Amino acid sequence: MGLDNTPAKQDGFNSQIGFIIACVGSAVGMGNLWRFPVLVSAWGGMTFLIPYFIFVILIGSTGVVEEIALGRSTGKGPIGAFGAAMAHAGKSRKAGESIGIIPTLGSLALAIGYSCVVGWIFKYVVMAFTGKVFAMGTNMDVIGTTFGTTASAFGNNMWIVIALVVNFAIMAFGVADGIEKANKFMMPLLFVMMIGLAVYIGIQPGAVDGYKYIFTVNPEGLKDIRLWIFAFGQAFFSLSIAGNGTVIYGSYLSKKEDVPFSAMNIAIFDTCAALLAALVIIPAMATSGAELSEGGPGLMFIYLVNIMNQMPGGMIVGIVFFVCVTFAGLSSLVNLYEAPVATLQQQFKLGRLQSVGIIGVIGVVVAILIQGIVSNWMDAVSIYICPIGAVLASVMLFFVFGKKYTMEAVNTGAKKPKGETWFFLGKYVYTGLALLALIAGAFYGGIG
C-alpha cells in the first residue's frame, strides 16, 4: 500500500532477504551497543560468550521460529493471531484477541520509551556532523552536563519530534516500499561502518589489551549461576522475543519462504552485530586504560564520547559511530511501532496513513511527557511485559493451536523440515525459558 487511506490487500515483504534484513534491523538495537559489551567486559570475555552463544542458538532455533510461524500462518499480528488460535481450539476468538492486546500494548509502550532514546541519538548524530561532539573534547563536566540536560524532563522535545517524523515517514510507505527498503539501506551500511570502526580502533595503541580480554576464558567463572542468568537475559531480549514485532513481521512473509532458515540468519546477524559492538567498544576503552563498568546511555553518550575525542581523527570516528547508532535505533523503532500500526489496520480496517498518523500522534505526545522517567518506563516494559508477550505467543502456537498446526506452520516452505525433537524443545524448553525470563529480568534490568 502506498500513501493513501484506501484499504487494500495486506502489504508484505518482497523477498526473504528483505524480511531477514528487516528482522535483523529490529533485533539490532541499543542492547547490542550499550549492554552487550558491558556484559562481555564484566563477566570475563569469552567466559560470558560461551553461555550467550548457547542461549542464542536455543532461542533462535525455537522462539524466533515460533513467532515468525505464528504470524505467517495466521497472516495477523498478535491480536488477530491469538484470536485465531482460540477459535481453532473451539474457544472464544474474542478472548484470544483480548489476550493479544497485552503484547501489542507492550510493543507500543516500548516504542514510546525507545522514541526518547532515538531522539537523543538524532541530536548527537547532528552534533557529531557539526563538530559539537568533538568540540567537547575530554571535559567530562561538559560531556556529562550536555547529556544530562538532553535526557532530562522536556529536555529534548524537538529531536524526539524529528526522530519520530523520520520513523513514521518510513512506515507510511508500507512494508515493502518503506520498512523493507529502509532496512536494506541501513543494515548493510551499519555492518560496513561497524567493521570499519573495529579495524580503525584495532590499530590504536593499547587496543590489543581489549582483544585479549574478549577472548579470555575463565573456567571457574562458568560455574557462577549469575553468569548464565545474565547471558540468557541478554540473548532473550536481544533477539526481540516479545510476541509482537516478530509476529507482525512474520505475518508479512510469503508462505513460500523458509521460516527456520530465516530465523537462523536473524540470530546469526544479530549476534554478529553484538560482537562487532564489543570489538569496537572494549578495545576503544582499552586504548585509554578506562574500565568498562557502566552500560546504558552513560556508556554511549558520555564515556565513549570522551574516548573517541582522544583518538586521532576523533571527529570522524564520532560521526561514523553515531550514524551506526542511528541506524540501529531507527530500525528497531520502526519494528516496535509496526505492531500497533498494523493493529489499527487489521482490527479497525483503517488505511495505512491513518494508522500511522494516529500512532504517531500518541508516540510523540507520550514520549515528550515521559522523558524524565524513561529509564524506569523502559525497565518496567522490558522486564515484565515483553516476557509475558513471549510466553503468550509460545502458548498460543504450541499449546492452543497444537502440534499438527504448529508443524505445518513451521515446515511450510522449509527445505529441512523440523521434527519431533524441535517440537519438544519449542513447547517445553523454550516456553519454560520464556517463563524464566520474567525472573531473569529482575536480575538483568535492561532492554535487548
The per-residue pLDDT for range 10-52, each reduced to its tens digit, is 678 988 999 999 999 988 888 888 889 888 888 888 999 999 9
CB 13 within 8 A of CB 176: yes
d(CA 130, CA 128): 6
Rg over CA atoms, the chain: 21
| Residue 421 forms part of a structural domain | yes
Structural domain contains residue 355: yes
Q: What is the pLDDT of residues 299-322, one digit of tens each?
A: 889 989 999 999 999 999 999 999
pLDDT grade for 6, boundaries at 50, 70 and 90: very low
pLDDT band for position 442 (50/70/90)? low
Q: For cell 504517531, what's the residue?
A: 360
Query: Is 260 within the bounds of a domain?
Result: yes
Listed as own residue / partner, the contacts of 303-307 with beta carbons closer than 8 Å and 24 or more positions apart are 305/133, 305/136, 305/143, 306/138, 306/140, 306/143
Q: What domain range is 50 assigned to?
A: 16-444
Q: pLDDT confidence of 7, banded at 50, 70, 90? A: very low
The CA-based dihedral angle spanning residues 184, 108, 274, 229, taken in that order and rounded to the nearest 10 degrees: -150
| 4 assigned to some structural domain | no
Average pLDDT (149-158) is: 96
% of the chain exceeding 90 in pLDDT: 73
**Biggest alpha carbon distance in the chain?**
66
Q: How would residue 288 be classed by pLDDT, with cut points 50, 70 and 90?
A: confident
Closest listed residue to residue 51, CA positions, set 241, 288, 287, 231: 231
Q: What's the number of domains the chain is made of? A: 1
Interval 199-240: pLDDT, tens: 999 999 999 988 988 888 989 989 998 899 889 888 988 898
Burial label for 64, CB within 10 Å (0-12, 13-18, 19+), is buried
Core vs surface per residue 346-374: b (16+ CB within 10 A) or e: bbeebbbbbbbbebbeebbebbbebbeeb
The answer, yes or no, to whether residue 4 has pLDDT greater than 80, is: no
- C-alpha 281/C-alpha 80 separation (Å) is 41
Q: Is residue 1 part of a domain?
A: no
What is the torsional sign of CA 149, 374, 20, 105? negative
For residue 198, the domain's CATH number is 1.10.4160
Domain-embedded: residue 9: no
